[in-house]
Every structure is written in C-alpha cells, then in structure tokens.
Amino acid sequence: MSEPIPLYAQGFFHLRADGLVDQIVVFDYYDPGNYYYKLMKDFTKLDKELERLRNNMQYFLDQERVLINGEDTNPRVKHVEIGFRGRKDLAYIMFIINFSGKIFEGINTYENIYEEEEAEYDYTVYWLFPVNAKVIEADVGVKYKVYNEGRILYFKVPKGTRVGGYERIVFEVYDSV
C-alpha cells in the first residue's frame, strides 16, 4: 500500500489579549492507498491512529522551546482530526494546540527554538494578534508581510527551504480597548 505523501501545510496562531495562543496546524496529504479513508470505517483503528498522531505531534512540540517574554510555555495538543478535501485520496490532519504566557503593555516577544531542517513541502503561517497589538519585527527565516495595521503576520516557506533553529516575533501591546 502506498504511504500518504505530504503536500502542503498551514499554521494559524491566534494570540489572545490574555496571552493564550490557540494554534491550528493543518497538513494536507495525497493518499493514493486511501489509508486515512479506510480508517474511518473502523473506529478502534481510527482512535488508535488519532492517539498515535497526537503523541507524535506532542513529542515534536516537547523538543521545541517556546517562550513568551522569556518565560517557557508548554504547548499541548488538544485535538486531532482527520478529514478529506472532497476526495478520499486528498486527506488532511488538523491539530489544535495551545499554550500561554504573560503579555504586558509595551514590547513583548515570542520565541521558538527548535531543530533546523529542510522543509519537505510548502507551508504558510499566519499569526493573528489582538486588536490592541501590532507586530514590530520578526525573524522567521524567510520574508514576511504584516497586514491589518500590524495585527496579521504572514509568511510562506517553499519546499526545500532550510528552516528552524530560531524564530522571534516582537510585538507591541497598547492600552486595553
């Protein structure tokens, strides 16, 4: 049976005013053997696969060091889902992850330290900041864009790009709205 082949990924990070970050990561796969589709018919196997996926993602998160304003955070996988993009051979896996840190009025910093690697597929990342915040600068290893008065940070990573090691986003929080 053919293994699922990763095609693309998207990461969405929503930073709330209280410092909670809700992260959604979606991986798209070409699944010529319909591995994931077949799992949907056997709830026992599906539950085992979802638990395996959760544990694998948590393992990788545990290898990273994520800091908000210099304080370690603890990213945790909260939910895993398998779905399809209109065809049984186009599967996706979605992870919902969250972590939190103390956010202050003034300058704040998010940092992520992780193992350097080569991107195996294209992916995009979106950061959404509270209404009373804006991105000042970022070091994400590739060019980035900031939209919506500094509240949305966006970047693309092409397949084959050397990524990792260190990311940093500096943002400013204003008076509460």
pLDDT tens, residue order, the chain (177 aa): 689 999 999 999 999 999 999 999 999 999 999 999 999 999 999 999 999 999 999 999 999 999 999 999 999 999 999 999 999 999 999 999 999 999 999 999 999 999 999 999 999 999 999 999 999 999 999 999 999 999 999 999 999 999 878 999 999 999 865
Residue 10 CA, chain-centre distance (Å), reads: 7
- As given in the structure block, the two tokens for residue 3 are 């293994």
Q: Give the bridge partners for 30, in sequence order.
A: 5, 90
Structural domain containing residue 102: 5-173
Q: Please tell me the distance from the alpha carbon of residue 144 to that of residue 121, in angstroms, as a whole number.
A: 18
Query: What is the Cα gyration radius of the chain?
Result: 17
- Residue 135 sits at the vertex; the CA angle it makes with 129 and 136, to the nearest 5 degrees, is 160
Q: What is the pTM of this model?
A: 0.94
Total domains in the chain come to 1
Selection from 37, 60, 31, 3 nearest residue 45 by Cα = 37
